[in-house]
Chains A and B, each alone.
Chain A
Amino acid sequence: MAATNRFDAIVVGSGVSGGFAAKELTEKGLRVLMLDRGRMVEHGEGYPYDGKPAFEVPARNVMPEPLKESDYFISKHGYVAPSNQSFYNDDRLNPYAYDEGEKFYWIRPATVGGKSLIWGRWSFRWAPGDFEANKREGVDGAWPIGYDDVAPWYSYVEKYIGVSGSRENLPYLPDSEFQPPIPMNAAETWLKQRLETQFPGRKLINTRLSNLTEDKPDQNRTKCQFRNQCSNGCSFGAYFSTQAVTLPAARATGKLTLVSDAVVTNLEYDPRAKKVTGVRYVDAKTGQAQVVAADLVFLCASAMASVQIMMNSRAAGTGRSHFDNSGTLGRYVMDHIFRVGVRGDIPGMEDLIEYGRRPGGVYVPRFRNIGKDEEGVGFRRGYGYQGSARRDPVKPEGFGASMKHAMRRYGPWQFSMGAFGECLPYKDNRVSLHASKVDRFGVPLMRFDVTFRENELKMMADAREQGEAMLRQAGLTNVTGWEDEHVPGDAIHEMGGARMGADPRASVLNGWSQAHDAANLYVTDGAQMASVACVNPSLTFMALTARAADHAVKQLRRA
């Protein structure tokens, strides 16, 4: 391409995927421009409430109701609080077509670093069976890659970012390259022993978390201090974020240019060369638009935003994207289904308590429909539970000195856990560009027509039933289950819309996260997923991003 280009590659977005793309590409010698629609947040100094107790945070760190209703009416489903408010999208300023189509919570960040600042940090590998399931079951959307293709990249990413966890040798939850696990507490250890005895084959294991349990001095990162205030931003750099990990690495190469407040609207395309020729963005502060070019473009704007940018990249007068010759762009959108849980009281151990605030808990890996025994449970795939045991102070009774002094004691151990279940890919679970409404940058609003179906709802009913049975048989008392409204997007694990596949007529990307319709375009965020497993996805995005960057640079060098 033109020798006048200042950049070899443009990375759109700076979250877990974009940050990793920038790190990998710059370290391989490319001059990279990273664009992010959000405001700049620098590590440490950009975290206004890091280390602040509630009384030093506005409104005691409880989001005021009027502000929630005016500006954070979607973000409120994503755990926005005054201490992390500046990291969340202002839904009034940056809307989508939330009042049309099917109900969907599209929870978005507002800054460089994307959701990496506010993510849940649970980090799991996919299992071989997760990659194989669509094909094996005849579900539309066979993966063109398998576990062995990704495993070395999981290792590479895990060693770099730091994932704490325990080695378990489970066929359906491969171990990562672990730092030592964050320990279970006494009540969880008790439950583990009883649950695993009562339910052979089911496990309760340590959380797998991208919170460090050992320092990484080469990255200026300190191990977790057990404050459990991660989403305020962590100046210790104890959890993985772009700011703490990949951005410093990319900057250290001297080859990164980062532009914040840069809202990418669309990609320009040469249909003869089948290449992206430019990235158009609007400066959110000035409204000025410009087009930048590079040999390579990595689209990592987050699953739905990357799909939106691709859909908005179309020849004048046509409705179809340059990248949608397959007709599948915007389809097969998924999220995890998770509004089910169980809780109960654990008897005894009242002489023990937790010291420190742990940023995770324990995990019950998937046990449904694995291995050879398809159990006839009435649904496909499975779910895992995330939970924890803890003791809360005694609840207020009455008033006055007696109440005050009674609240100086802790109540019994309680355990609770919630299920995250796999959603199947459905062709008509789709997103589209609104026919007439545009945002302040002129981009058509996203419309969501995505629903959970019978398989997902049956799975959640089973998760509740099995959860209650496990806790009861393990000896907990006052066991109850709960179920809330299931709204896609609510788990903030939205994926798909530009899936990988071997067949260009049925998928948007090939097995290298590379667009079938544009050899120099890679889409390495959640948009590429052809299925979603039941585990938290960010680690897989990072591994696929590093893998794609390696492939892209090799292709570039070959050309």
Chain B
Amino acid sequence: MSVRGTIDRRTALAGVAAMFGAALYAPIARAAGNAAAAGVPVISDGPPSVAVFTPAQRALVAALSERVLPTTDTPGAIAAGVPAYIEKLLADWALPADRVPILAGLDAIEKRSMADHRVSAARATPAQQDALLTLAMNRQLGTADDFFEAFRQLVVTGYYTSEIGMTQEREYLPVPGEYDGAFPYAKVNKVYSA
């Protein structure tokens, strides 16, 4: 295990990595280990340049994202734009091979939903979707065993780097102005965004 967070300039992105105890899903791991000016390569920031998902898969990604991080007393994954983030990342910010476990998992979940619940997974009830995600989490989807951890990391990363995740679910201090290394935890309302 490498703990590169020890050295401050190396911690710029460690916040994302620190959210996970498990081995990181490849694109997030590479990123966590890691602008606009004339002549500088531009990062694609518009809609996905390719459609990663079929309409049915897209609907399922949205539904499952919301089950991973649901609306509670704060908005959930859909309101935070997580489904669009996932498709954009897989289209333009990750390597094509990184789509494979996600697509395989979505297809396995869809098949299992038809078999267990006789309904397309995107239109299953939240309880049925939770049961499907639980199967995935417990590695009971056969060939798509890599799906759950990869998908959860995508949802968690997308959510906690979104405006809603950073400023509503958590608290973002743009300019803390001071440092207190012995601040009473009792005064913390929400986890601070990195």
A residues with a Cβ closer than 8 A to B are 39, 41, 46, 48-49, 51, 53-55, 58-71, 76, 79-87, 90, 110, 118-122, 182-186, 188-189, 207, 225-231, 338-339, 341-343, 350-361, 385-388, 390, 392-393, 395-396, 398-401, 403-405, 407-410, 416-418, 480, 482, 484
Contacts and interface: CB of A to CB of B under 8 A. Distances in A.
B43 interface: yes
Interface in B13-66: 13, 16, 18-21, 27-28, 30-32, 34-41, 43-45
A65 B95 contact: yes
Given A408-B191, A482-B2, A65 B94 contact: yes
A79 B10 contact: yes
Nearest to A338: B7
A485 B30 CA distance: 16
Given A58-B45, A63-B31, A358 B161 contact: no
Interface stretch (B100-108, B111-119, B175-183): B175-183
Given A350-B185, A351-B185, A355-B180, A68 B30 contact: yes
A405 B35 contact: no
8 contacts: A62-B93, A120-B7, A228-B8, A341-B3, A355-B180, A392-B18, A399-B67, A404-B70
A359 B12 CA distance: 10
Contacts of A352: 181-185
Nearest to A213: B179
A365 B191 CA distance: 33
A183 B19 contact: no
A36 to B, nearest CB: 14
A183 B21 contact: no
A77 to B, nearest CB: 9
A83 B167 CA distance: 19
Contacts of B40: 85-86, 90, 110
Given A59-B93, A82-B43, A186 B182 contact: yes
A60 B161 contact: yes
A230 B9 contact: yes
B82 to A, nearest CB: 11
Contacts of B2: 339, 341, 482, 484
Given A60-B85, A183-B179, 17 more contacts: A39-B39, A55-B166, A59-B43, A59-B93, A62-B16, A62-B31, A62-B93, A65-B27, A183-B180, A350-B185, A354-B183, A386-B7, A393-B19, A403-B69, A405-B72, A407-B19, A418-B7
Given A64-B92, A226-B177, A352-B185, A357 B194 contact: yes
B43 A400 contact: no
Contact of B35 (A68, A83, A359, A361): A83
Nearest to A48: B36
Nearest to A408: B191
Contacts of B184: 351-353
Contact of A396 (B133, B152, B163): B152
Most chain B CB within 10 A, of A185, A228, A353, A385, is at A353
B35 A86 contact: yes
Most chain B CB within 10 A, of A60, A392, A408, is at A60
B156 interface: yes
Contacts of A82: 35, 43
Contacts of A399: 67-69, 130, 133, 137, 152
Contact of B1 (A182, A183, A228, A482): A482
Given A79-B10, A405-B72, A60 B157 contact: yes
A225 B173 CA distance: 11
A351 B186 contact: yes
B178 A356 contact: yes
Interface in B140-194: 152, 156-158, 161-163, 166-167, 169, 172-186, 188, 190-191, 193-194
A400 B67 contact: yes
Nearest to A46: B37
Given A230-B9, A354-B179, A401-B72, A396 B166 contact: no
Contacts of B167: 53
Nearest to B130: A400
A476 to B, nearest CB: 13
A116 to B, nearest CB: 13
A416 B185 CA distance: 21
Contact of B5 (A48, A118, A416): A416
Given A59-B93, A356-B176, A87 B166 contact: no
A396 B93 contact: no
A237 to B, nearest CB: 14
A417 B11 CA distance: 12
Nearest to A399: B68
A185 B31 contact: no
Contact of B19 (A54, A64, A353, A395): A395
